[in-house]
Amino acid sequence: MKRPTVLACLAGAAMAGLAGIIGATTWSDRHAGVVLPEPALTQERIARGAYLARLGDCAACHSVPGKAPFSGGLWMETPIGAIFTSNITPDRRHGIGNYSLGDFDRALRYGVAAGHTLYPAMPYSAYSITRPEDVAALYAYFRQGVQPDPTPNRAGEIPFPLSMRWPLTVWRWLYAPVPQPFGAPPGMDAKLARGAYLVQGLGHCGDCHTARGPGLQVRALGPAGGTAYLAGAMIDGWHAPSLRNGGRATIGTWSEAEIAQFLRSGANRHGSAFASMSEVIVNSTRYMTEDDAMAAARFLKSLNDKPDGAAYRYDPATGLALRGGDARARGARLYLDNCAACHRPDGKGYERVFPPLAGNPVVAAAPAESLIRIVLAGTQSPRTPENPAQFAMPAFAWRLSDKEVADVVTFVRASWGNQAPPVEARAVGKLRRTNVPDAPP
């Protein structure tokens, strides 16, 4: 008789503990944030909010081609299933038309909306440092500068019990910072402080360029978190390169002006944006003022690392060999047949048209996934006012075998002074199976 009684007591205690956690998280979600006075929705504030919404790249997640801006519905894969982004137009039934400024602030900086914690696909950990005047400007824009749209929100495709929301609150307690408006450290110059605020906050650059921890949390939200911040990460099968100033596979050789040029146009003499960064350029950073782009560049250049080897030095030997008809190196013949017309035998490409491969951080990075995927599936340069012509690299998945792709990528990574490890056919095959469509475009 004792064993069932003990088991019943243990089960009761477990249920009581679970109920306590759920109750605590529910209370926390409902009471997160602070009550804020409603701002005046002036045209100046609305315009400011429109600019800040661009910097935060809100459209990238909350707008879907062919549908009303900010009406949500973007499909996003997570480790536990798919979710769909929400309607953030001022529609009163399906959007955020009934939100007060306090409600908006709770969603933006605390990650809490409608009484529950949001999925951390919403980068509220980065947005947590947004200043009150900028929160108010964003609120004014989404209340008066965006057209309401009655698109209903789509339920996620996460199976029960993983679909329960209360564990997200526990995640927020463990990993999200307590929201605190950004304040520059004493003595920091105004331009550097502005860049730090933009990059760490609304720009949320760390969400892609900083590695994740075991709880899928961003390992560092700013320089105070250590050298993991903006040191590069794998995301959606791509390698987002380091944005730190130092080492060979970084932007260490880029000047502040070249970084700003890349942010505003999508290209500079060192390379061109690709994959999701192209979308970031087109939807967000191309709208930066010149001053803000230079401020962001100054902050990135302040993230100094110790050199991880000798500085890159161009080696003309490969170009001379190819021009002299020597194609004995692994992948050299394939490079001449498929790549040299655009990227040239000397690997220097054509500035802001076909990016250089010599000394390119993407080429030199230890993870080769991005380079392999570009060869397999092709890519397009972003179209911006400063770069109105759009150039495309064709997909070679239907022309080259796994071994041939591995050979040409290895050649590129070992030529013109690049010193990156070789690539094997099995790595190409894995990416081909998971990232290349069944038929050519």
Residue ranges of the binding site: 58, 61-62, 205, 208-209, 339, 342-343
CA distances to 121, 127, 234, 269, 273 from 384, rounded to whole Å, are 27, 26, 26, 16, 11
- Alpha-carbon dihedral of residues 224, 177, 171, 61, nearest 10 degrees? -90
**222 in helix, strand or coil?**
coil
User: Which residue do the tokens 């190819």 mark?
Assistant: 322
In sequence order, the β-bridge partners of residue 271 are 268
Say if residues 231 and 304 touch (Cβ distance below 8 Å).
Answer: no
In sequence order, the β-bridge partners of residue 75 are 84
CA distances to 358, 411, 427 from 424, rounded to whole Å, are 21, 12, 6
Distance, CA of 200 to CA of 224 (rounded, Å):
11
Check whether the bond before 161 is cis (ω within 30° of 0).
yes
Distance, CA of 64 to CA of 51 (rounded, Å):
20
CA distances to 198, 209, 300, 375 from 222, rounded to whole Å, are 11, 12, 11, 33
Residue numbers in the known binding site for heme c are 58, 61-62, 205, 208-209, 339, 342-343
Distance, CA of 346 to CA of 335 (rounded, Å):
11
Angle (nearest 5°) at CA 205 between 199 and 208: 170
Distance, CA of 356 to CA of 35 (rounded, Å):
53
Distance, CA of 30 to CA of 221 (rounded, Å):
25
